[in-house]
Amino acid sequence: MHCGAISLEKLARQFGTPLYVYSADQILERLRIFQEAFGDRDTLVCYAVKANSALAILALLAAHGAGFDIVSGGELERVLAAAPDAAARVVFSGVGKTPAEMDFALESGILEFNVESEAELHLLADRARRLKRKARFALRVNPDVFAETHPYISTGLREHKFGIDIRRALAIYKSVAGNRWLEPHGISVHIGSQIRSADPFGAALERVYKLVRQLDRAGIPLQSIDAGGGLGIDYHGGSFDAAAKIHEYAQALDEALAGYAGRLLIEPGRFIVAQAGALVARVLHVKRNGKKTFVITDAAMNDLIRPALYQAHHEIVPVRPRAGKPRVVDVVGPVCESGDFFARDRNLAPVVPGDLIALLDAGAYGMAQSSNYNTRPRPAEVLVEGRKARLIRRRETIADLLAPEILTSEK
């Protein structure tokens, strides 16, 4: 198995395991397809930083014209560290922005704040007044559109913590229309993640565009519509036509926004990076316990928590296949939790201790959600560009983990 022109075995020898490996070529290909899918429509692809916030990946995307969707001040710090000139292409989402985060974003000159409550809008106005900097904002409206996805990543219904009831939005825009420190710049929507059908996106945008027309008639013209992210991938292997999926998505948005001449913002994250990444692990033991067979690896739930957290599926394949029939196994890690698994009752080709396996489609919400549980240093990350591989994050050491802690108090 290779990433680009480089074998995963070579990368594992050079950088050790567990190891995250990413393909720069595939990341840029996905970005390009999104950028071209909407034809002549003014579109800005704002990559969702939370999916994978590696500085090298942010710099790569920024160099090819991407904007960024952030949900914390820390993510803004990352964007500015990777691409200092990208602040004007940043949208700030999230339900709990702090005054300090707002100040930092205002001083940095971001594109807009996606505001998720009336209380947040009033706080933003106060911070903008104190800094004497006008804040461009978009209300994140909740269109009450159902999207078939995992309940933990569904966000478009009234019972969710995200967004403002779309029926309240017109009154809220009117209530701040005269505020000298707030600029109604756009409107935002995000109905969830890992959504495989384009239909819910179109339905949400139809409702949003209706509100935009109402605002225009009320003398509050907006410059942008932020369609959010959430377009899903296929984690189960097999053929997957990414370009066809993106064009289906673009067509649904275009039809919903027929006649709209403003700017369209979209916030893909998973779709850009997930299938460009893999977690490479080494088999430690193959253990028989009653009727169960366990393949125990040196990677664990702290490295990739999605299977334990969401019961998410990742294809798992030997890096160098052996002859023999597949066996039904559980693929697990060494963490002291029964929930430390990558797959249960999965058909896997034969492996023995020392073999390498690859957990596919791990470029999104892998390293980004990793932890140091059980005092385990997090993996290294490698970015492959054509025939070159470069280390973009070194493997953590125990010294790194212990460094922030204070053992004794001063007298």
336 is catalytic: yes
Residue type, 164: I
DSSP 227: -
Q: 99, 141, 124: which is closest to 182 by C-alpha? A: 124
Instruction: Report the DSSP beta bridge partners of residue 67.
Output: 46
DSSP assignment of 82-137, as one string?
H-GGGGGGEEE--S---HHHHHHHHHHT-SEEEE-SHHHHHHHHHHHHHHT-PEEE
Rounded Cα distance, 364 and 383, in Å = 14
Q: Is 244 strand, coil or helix? A: helix
Residue 305: both structure tokens together? 């928590």
Torsion, Cα 124 78 35 235, to 10 degrees, reads -110
DSSP 280: E
Instruction: Check 258, 261, 336, 399 and give the catalytic one.
Output: 336
- According to DSSP, the β-strands at 164-165 and 356-359 are unpaired
- According to DSSP, the β-strands at 135-142 and 182-188 are parallel
Torsion, Cα 272 275 277 281, to 10 degrees, reads 160
Rounded Cα distance, 193 and 14, in Å = 35
Residues with catalytic annotation?
336
